[in-house]
């Protein structure tokens, strides 16, 4: 087996007296694709910085193959010292690299190269930093939250670009779909230590849950043994008379073992503060439009939102999603058309730009608005310390200034603030940024149980699939269209994803009223072609065959010893599984599109 390109062994690091990494390990071979997962604050970014050679560790070893090239993407890239984005990207090229690749990647990411680095938004800075690390096609590519601040077209482009590169990858991301499509192995950083699964992220959560269940059983057994020994100490005749030193030592060892066991950090407990129910109709927008000069941002859009709906708004950056959200919530008046808000609305907004977070404000002052040490949740007064624990903050952090929090901790703090307020309409603008996967799960569950209505802007495809009941897609030129279901349903109905060109909208011809039928317009429907009919008949059997193939491949990859015996065979099987899964997804989406068309024609 070839030597790894980079290897971290027994890495130990302590911050502020508390151990962060306790024997963590990371090994990356040529062409391997790992995802590094774990809770916010578990040390993922620190471990990646150690791999990049940017952070010193207390103990352990770091080895990198001679002449191996490495590039690292931080969460918050620094473009200081460069006048333009092109100069910044070109500075990352080594002698012999393709000088035109810098401009090509910038153009692919929607930048010209002439942008001044001190005038960039967070998303533009992230795009420039991505171009800089990808341009040299390094041997090792370390990416920390590469999809943050990217829109859906950019995320899908990045997936395709990384899939086509030869570089070995380590990815940290909260985007499940991104990890599932790119990873071939998973490293779980938990309580300072790492565990490795030789399968992609799609298999991780079931594996993690199994490990945690086994740990809980072992902890229960240890507790029972300690109870038995304590019972012997209290009531054993020999213990009282002779004090059997060996058995007493055994009890001390068991107690020490129990103390040394580090439990999993408690789960986030999340529940939205719900106000009185709103009216049945929450929002009704009729043919609204909004322009800025000659630029039409929203054009002739209508939408009805009923109580309990979860409406996702998606599209490229700059397509007008935020403007549409402001129009629908009454913060902005349309140029034409009207928006009617329902009765008894109590709206709460989660601003993921975190403009409300003053750097020097303490966590307690932010949650209580500087008024005492209690916070009202669902009409019940709670001490701020107990409420903070629900969101995984410790009592010691109560007087911590916001500026020292990580991105994930700031996201949790904003959620804690939004969830405390009573509401029946939640407006969430990119709520998933920087949240760990477990917190995302709980946010999804909370939204599923929320009795009110949700308006959601997000680029997280998996999150939209799990939460949204309908998706409003920016079709281009100020036009928006609503699709039933989540993101995948929208793609199936459109026939293409977010990068598809806007479909031509056919305006109904003027009708002579005297000769016209009683209907106001004539609906022109597409017919099922012979090819479509044949596909409807044959796709179910193809889907069944592909499902069987995927199942068989997963069963073969489930052999824990396969990777050790034959790494090449394991890699070939993993690649074959990825191709089969992609083919299965495409077949299912094609069948769904044709079946919906057939039903529409019949009706």
- Residue 211's CB is within 10 A of a number of other CB atoms, namely 13
pLDDT per position as a tens digit, 295-308: 889 999 999 999 88
Q: Which tokens is 451 given?
A: 């009795």
Cβ contact 478:319 at 8 Å: no
DSSP 119: G
How would residue 493 be classed by pLDDT, with cut points 50, 70 and 90? confident
Share of the chain above pLDDT 90, in %: 31
Q: Which pLDDT score is estimated for 266?
A: 52
Average pLDDT score over residue span 575-591: 81
Q: Which pLDDT score is estimated for 289?
A: 94
Q: Which pLDDT score is estimated for 477?
A: 87
Q: Which pLDDT score is estimated for 505?
A: 30
User: Widest CA span of the chain, in angstroms?
Assistant: 113
pLDDT per position as a tens digit, 352-370: 555 567 778 888 888 888 8
Q: Decide if pLDDT at 172 tops 80.
A: yes
Q: Decide if pLDDT at 232 tops 50.
A: yes
Q: Which tokens is 281 given?
A: 């109709």
Average pLDDT score over residue span 273-300: 83
DSSP 157: H
What is the C-alpha separation between 124 and 110, in angstroms, rounded? Answer: 9
Q: Which pLDDT score is estimated for 315?
A: 87
Higher pLDDT, 112 or 266: 112
Higher pLDDT, 124 or 379: 124
What is the C-alpha separation between 514 and 528, in angstroms, rounded? Answer: 32
How would residue 498 be classed by pLDDT, with cut points 50, 70 and 90? low
Q: Decide if pLDDT at 254 tops 60.
A: no
Q: Which tokens is 7 given?
A: 């290897």
Q: Which pLDDT score is estimated for 575?
A: 78
Q: Which pLDDT score is estimated for 455?
A: 93
Average pLDDT score over residue span 507-518: 36
How would residue 214 be classed by pLDDT, with cut points 50, 70 and 90? confident
Cβ contact 425:347 at 8 Å: yes
Between helix 567-602 and helix 530-557 the angle, nearest 10°, is 150
Q: Which pLDDT score is estimated for 508?
A: 32
Residues in the chain: 603
How would residue 419 be classed by pLDDT, with cut points 50, 70 and 90? confident
Q: Return the minimum-mean-pLDDT range out of 39-43, 231-235, 309-313, 553-557.
A: 231-235
What is the C-alpha separation between 340 and 88, in angstroms, rounded? Answer: 48
What is the C-alpha separation between 602 and 598, in angstroms, rounded? Answer: 6
């Amino acid at each position: 087996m070839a030597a790894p390109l980079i290897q971290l062994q027994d890495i130990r690091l302590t911050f502020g007296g508390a151990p962060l990494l306790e024997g963590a390990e990371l090994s990356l071979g040529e062409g391997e694709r790992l995802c590094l997962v774990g809770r916010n604050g578990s040390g993922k970014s620190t471990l990646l910085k150690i791999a990049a050679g940017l952070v010193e560790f207390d103990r352990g070893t770091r080895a990198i193959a001679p002449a191996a090239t490495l590039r690292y993407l931080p969460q918050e890239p620094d473009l200081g010292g460069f006048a333009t984005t092109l100069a910044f990207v070109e500075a990352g090229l080594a002698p012999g690299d393709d000088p035109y690749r810098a401009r090509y990647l910038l153009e692919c990411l929607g930048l010209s190269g002439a942008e001044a680095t001190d005038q960039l938004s967070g998303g533009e800075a992230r795009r420039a930093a991505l171009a800089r690390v990808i341009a040299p096609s390094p041997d090792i590519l370390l990416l920390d939250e590469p999809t943050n601040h990217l829109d859906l077209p950019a995320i899908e482009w990045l997936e395709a670009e990384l899939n086509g590169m030869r570089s070995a990858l380590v990815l940290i991301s909260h985007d499940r779909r991104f990890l599932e499509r790119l990873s071939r192995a998973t490293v779980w950083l938990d309580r300072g230590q790492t565990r490795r699964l030789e399968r992609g992220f799609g298999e991780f959560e079931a594996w993690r849950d199994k490990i945690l269940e086994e740990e809980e059983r072992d902890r229960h057994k240890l507790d029972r043994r300690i109870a038995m020994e304590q019972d012997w100490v209290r009531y054993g005749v020999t213990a009282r008379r002779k004090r059997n030193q060996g058995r007493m030592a055994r009890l001390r060892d068991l107690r020490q073992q129990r103390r040394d066991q580090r439990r999993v950090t408690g789960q986030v407990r999340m529940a939205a503060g719900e106000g009185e129910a709103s009216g049945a109709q929450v929002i009704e927008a009729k043919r609204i439009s909004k322009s800025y000069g000659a630029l039409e941002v929203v054009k002739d859009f209508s939408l009805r939102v009923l109580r309990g709906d979860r409406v996702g708004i998606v599209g490229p950056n700059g397509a007008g999603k935020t403007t549409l959200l402001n129009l629908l919530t009454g913060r902005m008046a349309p140029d034409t058309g009207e928006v009617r808000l329902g009765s008894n609305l109590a709206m709460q907004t989660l601003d993921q730009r975190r403009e409300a977070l003053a750097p020097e404000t303490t966590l307690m002052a932010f949650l209580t608005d500087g008024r005492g040490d209690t916070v009202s949740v669902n009409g019940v007064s709670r001490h701020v310390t107990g409420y903070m624990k629900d969101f995984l903050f410790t009592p010691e952090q109560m007087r911590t200034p916001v500026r020292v929090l990580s991105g994930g901790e700031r996201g949790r703090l904003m959620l804690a603030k939004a969830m405390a307020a009573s509401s029946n309409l939640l407006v969430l603008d990119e709520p998933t940024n920087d949240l760990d996967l477990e917190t995302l799960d709980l946010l999804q569950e909370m939204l599923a149980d929320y009795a009110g209505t949700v308006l959601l802007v997000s680029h997280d495809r998996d999150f939209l699939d799990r939460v949204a009941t309908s998706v409003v897609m920016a079709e281009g030129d100020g036009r928006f269209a609503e699709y039933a279901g989540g993101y995948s349903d929208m793609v199936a109905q459109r026939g293409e994803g977010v990068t598809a060109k806007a479909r031509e909208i056919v305006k109904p011809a003027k009708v002579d009223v005297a000769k016209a039928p009683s209907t106001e317009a004539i609906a022109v429907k597409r017919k099922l072609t012979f090819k479509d009919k044949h596909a409807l008949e044959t796709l179910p059997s193809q889907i069944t065959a592909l499902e069987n193939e995927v199942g068989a491949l997963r069963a073969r990859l489930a052999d824990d010893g396969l990777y050790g015996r034959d790494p090449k065979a394991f890699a070939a099987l993993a690649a074959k599984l990825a191709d089969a899964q992609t083919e299965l997804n495409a077949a299912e989406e094609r069948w769904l599109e044709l079946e919906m068309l057939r039903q529409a024609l019949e009706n």
